[in-house]
Amino acid sequence: MKLSFDEFPAMASNDKYLLVHQPPNLSLLDRHLAIIKQAPWTQGEVWDICWSQALGRF
């Protein structure tokens, strides 16, 4: 995954994964930054992402 220095993608992490919004996709990466899952995101800009410890979900 290539990130540009002039872009500021929305990101969130837990102890195992990193979730990144880099249009047009949401990508789930592991500790080695390998893409585990990728899905197209067509709902517009993602401004913020967080990990919920209580729910165990992003």
Instruction: Per residue of the chain (58 residues), give pLDDT as tens.
Output: 666 656 678 999 999 999 999 889 999 999 999 999 999 999 988 989 999 989 988 8
Residue 53 and residue 9: Cα distance in Å, rounded?
22
Structural contact between residues 27 and 37, judged by C-beta atoms closer than 8 angstroms: yes
Residue 27 is predicted with a pLDDT of: 95
Residue 58 is predicted with a pLDDT of: 87
Token pair for residue 10? 């929305």
